[in-house]
């Protein structure tokens, strides 16, 4: 499967099922500047037949929304505010865990590490160094909050690198 399509399909399914968050359609966002830009950067490393990492970039409002929906509380609930990083970590972990079989098939085993939070500078550096052969990235928005999801690969799923 095409890496970019796999990223999109996996992210869409995880956000919808885990956080009841639906991607905005292009018509909804066309011409409108996003209400917020990403400010939290969550990285999940994986290792197996190929290795690399997935990075989810999301803003505060989106993180609060996700945490609140996962917990089943209102967005202004202090419980949601406390768990935004945990929520982004778990969403990233679920995306990574569901993305790898989509890319590599159901048999290969991967070790997925605990989510870690990185700086925007580090994320931008990774994005700048990436080549079309070393991963894929998508941008999307949820309730007009912009987000990005990137896959950085070291060695391709087909073993070409």
Partner 1 sequence: MRLNILLVDDSLIIRTMIARTIEMAGIPTGRVYHAQNGLDALDTMRNNWIDLVFADINMPVMDGVEMIEKMAADEALSQIPVIVVSTEGSETKIDRLWRNGIRAFVRKPFTPETIRDAVRMVLGEWDMEEAGNGFKTGAF
> What does the alpha-carbon distance between residue 66 and residue 58 come to, in Å, rounded to a whole number?
10
Nearest to 86 by CA among 65, 69, 63: 63
Binding residue count for partner 1, defined by CB under 8 A: 29
* Sequence-distant (≥ 6) Cβ neighbours of residue 15 within 8 angstroms: 21, 22, 23, 66, 91, 142
Residue 17 lies near partner 1 (rule: CB under 8 A): yes
Residue 149 lies near partner 1 (rule: CB under 8 A): no
Q: What phi and psi values does residue 51 have, to the nearest 5 degrees?
A: -135, 165
Residue 18 lies near partner 1 (rule: CB under 8 A): yes
Nearest to 54 by CA among 18, 7, 110, 14: 7
C-alpha gyration radius of the chain: 15
CB of 132 to partner 1, least distance (A): 25
Between 90 and 119, how does the x/- string for binding to partner 1 read (CB under 8 A)? x--xx-xxx-xx----xxxxxxxxx-----
Between 67 and 86, how does the x/- string for binding to partner 1 read (CB under 8 A)? x--xxx----------x--x
CB of 105 to partner 1, least distance (A): 9
Residues found near partner 1 in the complex (CB under 8 A): 13-14, 17-18, 67, 70-72, 83, 86-87, 89-90, 93-94, 96-98, 100-101, 106-114
């Amino acid at each position: 499967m095409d890496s970019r399509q796999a990223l999109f399909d996996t992210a869409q399914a995880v956000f919808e099922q885990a956080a009841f968050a639906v991607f905005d359609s292009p018509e909804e966002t066309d011409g409108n500047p996003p209400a917020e830009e990403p400010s939290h950067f969550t990285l999940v490393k994986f290792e197996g037949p190929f290795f690399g990492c997935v990075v989810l970039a999301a803003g505060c409002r989106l993180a609060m929304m996700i945490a609140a929906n996962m917990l089943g509380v209102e967005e202004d609930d202090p419980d949601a505010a406390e768990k935004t990083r945990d929520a982004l970590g778990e969403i990233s972990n679920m995306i990574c865990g569901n993305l790898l079989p989509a890319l590599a098939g159901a048999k290969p085993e991967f070790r997925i590490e605990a989510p870690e939070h990185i700086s925007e500078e580090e994320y931008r550096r990774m994005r700048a160094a990436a080549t079309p052969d070393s991963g894929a990235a998508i941008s999307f928005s949820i309730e007009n909050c912009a987000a990005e999801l990137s896959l950085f690969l070291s060695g391709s799923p087909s073993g070409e690198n």
